Chain A
Amino acid sequence: MAEPRAYGLLAEFDTPEALLDAARRAREDGYRDLDAFTPFPVHGLAEVLDIRDTRVLWLGLAGGVFGFALALLMQVGANWSYPLDVGGRPVYALSAFAVIAFELTVLFAALFPAIGMLALNGLPRLNYPVFAASHFHLASRDRFFLCVRAGDARFDPEQTAQYLGRIGARTVELVPA
């Protein structure tokens, strides 16, 4: 591989509205392997880019079920292993186990999606191709970037760059892989 492969083209926009508009047009014109980089979550962007992922929420449910089961097993198991008879009160007192069951449900329902969110996002990660782009530090300030990745069927370093300029990008930069 003599020629360095490109990661994609990064187009810079001034406002979230301009980004949304460009992303919509790029989708309509057949581009599929798109991503965007924004300083804050832009409402409606996921729909335009057709990103659907509810795994984080399912992880929350899984964590809750896991925590609840763990808490009940732990408390029932401890009382089964060493029954403490306090004034004849029930050994398996579910109402008394409810507090810890609730706490562990919440604990794991919080930990699973938090860790899962990072894992699905591929974070932590020390470097990523887009960081090499000259304006990319503005993606956490007040600029909104649309990225056409090199994997897209319609990707062509020059024609796609011109296309992005036509749909309103203020700068377009080729990001090396």
Chain B
Amino acid sequence: MTMSEAPILPRDQSLGDVTDQLARIPLHFPTRRRWLIALSLSMLLLTLFAVSVVVLFTRGVGIWGLNIPVNWAFAIHNYVWWLGIGHAGTLISALLLLMGREWRNSLNRFAETMTLFAVVCAGIYPVLHLGRPWYLYWMFPYPATMGVWPQFRSPLEWDIWAVLTYLTVSVVFWYVGLIPDLGAARDRARRRGWQVFFGVLSLGWRGSAVHWLRWQQAYRLLAALAVPLVVSVHSEVSLLFAAGTIPGWHSMIFPAYFVLGAAFSGFAVVAMIAIVIRSLFALKNLVTDDHLDILGKVLLATGLMTAYGYVFEIFDAFYSGEAHEIQTVHDRIAGAYAWTYWGAIVFNFVFLQLLWWRCARRSPLVLFLVSTSVAIGMWLERYMILVTSLYRDFLVSSWGSYTPTFWDWSIYIGTFGLFMVPFLLIIRLFPVIAISETKEVLHEEQAEASHG
């Protein structure tokens, strides 16, 4: 380390204790009851999701509130929201690894896990929105009898490649990082079932020096690829909007605006999960108040950058002088859906200002509430971007309005089950914090301390 920093982890813990503490969590699960309650509630939500999807597939997208002109509505709105949340997991894990920010080693595992299932929740939405989802394979180039191919010049086609690549690379990155920890859990396991489970999944990892060398090369390479991938995926998502001519969407700032908003909402959810996990599993020695402090700062920084996007969006509209663009700004600020615009401003940026104070960043309760507010605010922002642009476009004759129906809400609420059930299973079965990487940081800090 070139910069002399205060230690992020308390130095008075041994490498062995940290290993035992982290490997114990799946092997001797501490909070069985609370976990079961959480899993049951999540299963209920997942059931709601399954029922809603069956009804949707039976009756078609007409059960939703979407219409012409508001033909994207909840499906794409929640797709963008979930995908954005996922991006913070990759950024924490990959970007901060490359930059040598060691505090990320306590957070990366569950942040990456969050990414996986947030991307699943996101990816399912365009499929549900297809209307005839059983024709999904039309998106792939296969030798059709009529000789046609997908339209590769359309952002809608780019989307499936971007999301599937992102999902695949996220799974690979997550698993490659997990392999040494699976080996550590295997060596701690006493029961035969766990030994076989971790033994098979760890692929026979033995921590050989040459293996570590190749592992580090692969892991850092994956990280270096994941960072531009995040930027490309959410830029591509923004092109779904910006490549069309709809006022309020057809703007050069969209890629940057979307990527920053995505990171902002994602860091909020990472902070929420970090706070819950460290109190649930008594991990305050590894996810410290310093970690919360840094997460709060990152949240504040990405929030202010997102706010800059808001300012520039309005400037952009007036600078263009285009009547429809300016009308859309009016519709956003004072139209039928002004509550989404002002809701986004308040939930995203007003409560956020608390994070200027160190004591607020270090208070789990305050940080959790601010993060929740950001997640809500970003949800409102995506709603605002979708609906306020679509409900009044160029021709007065094609103006309309949008109200989500019961089935819109039930699928959206159901996706929380789709997110929570696999997430809870993963934190039940796998080390929730990266064991080898945590020990690496701890050892470096102890070595620094002993060398003065």
A-side residues, CB < 8 A to B, are 16-17, 35-42, 45-46, 49, 51, 53-57, 60, 74-75, 78-79, 81-82, 84, 86, 89, 93, 96-97, 99-100, 102-104, 106-107, 109-111, 113-114, 116-118, 120-121, 123-128, 130-131, 136-142
Which of B167-204 touch A at CB < 8 Å? 168-169, 172-173, 176, 180, 183-184, 186-188, 199, 203-204
Interface residue? B206 (CB, 8 A):
yes
Can you show 18 pairs from A to B with CB atoms below 8 A apart?
A16-B443, A39-B439, A41-B215, A49-B209, A53-B213, A53-B214, A75-B152, A79-B149, A100-B161, A106-B169, A107-B165, A110-B226, A111-B168, A113-B217, A121-B211, A121-B214, A139-B206, A140-B180
- Nearest-CB residue, chain B, relative to A16: B443
Interface residue? B218 (CB, 8 A):
yes
- Could you say which of A39, A46, A139 has the most chain B C-beta atoms within 10 Å of its C-beta? A39
Contacts of A142 in B (CB 8 A): 14-16, 19, 439
B-side residues, CB < 8 A to A, are 14-16, 19-20, 141, 147-153, 155, 157-158, 161-162, 165, 168-169, 172-173, 176, 180, 183-184, 186-188, 199, 203-218, 221-222, 225-226, 228-229, 232-233, 236, 239, 436-437, 439-440, 443, 447
A140→B213 contact, CB < 8 A: no
Kindly state the separation between the CA atoms of A51 and B217 in the bound complex, as whole angstroms: 13
Given A40-B440, A81-B149: A117 in contact with B218 (beta carbons within 8 A): yes
Name the prevailing secondary structure of the B interface residues. helix
- Nearest-CB residue, chain B, relative to A100: B161
Beyond A40-B440, A74-B141, A103-B232, 12 additional pairs, beta carbon < 8 A: A40-B180, A49-B210, A93-B153, A99-B158, A103-B162, A106-B225, A109-B221, A110-B222, A111-B172, A114-B218, A120-B214, A141-B15
B208→A36 contact, CB < 8 A: yes
Kindly state the separation between the CA atoms of A156 and B282 in the bound complex, as whole angstroms: 49
Q: How far is the CB of A20 from chain B (nearest CB, A)?
A: 11
User: A54 is contacted by which of B14, B211, B217, B233 (Cβ under 8 Å)?
Assistant: B217
B218→A113 contact, CB < 8 A: yes
Kindly state the separation between the CA atoms of A130 and B162 in the bound complex, as whole angstroms: 43
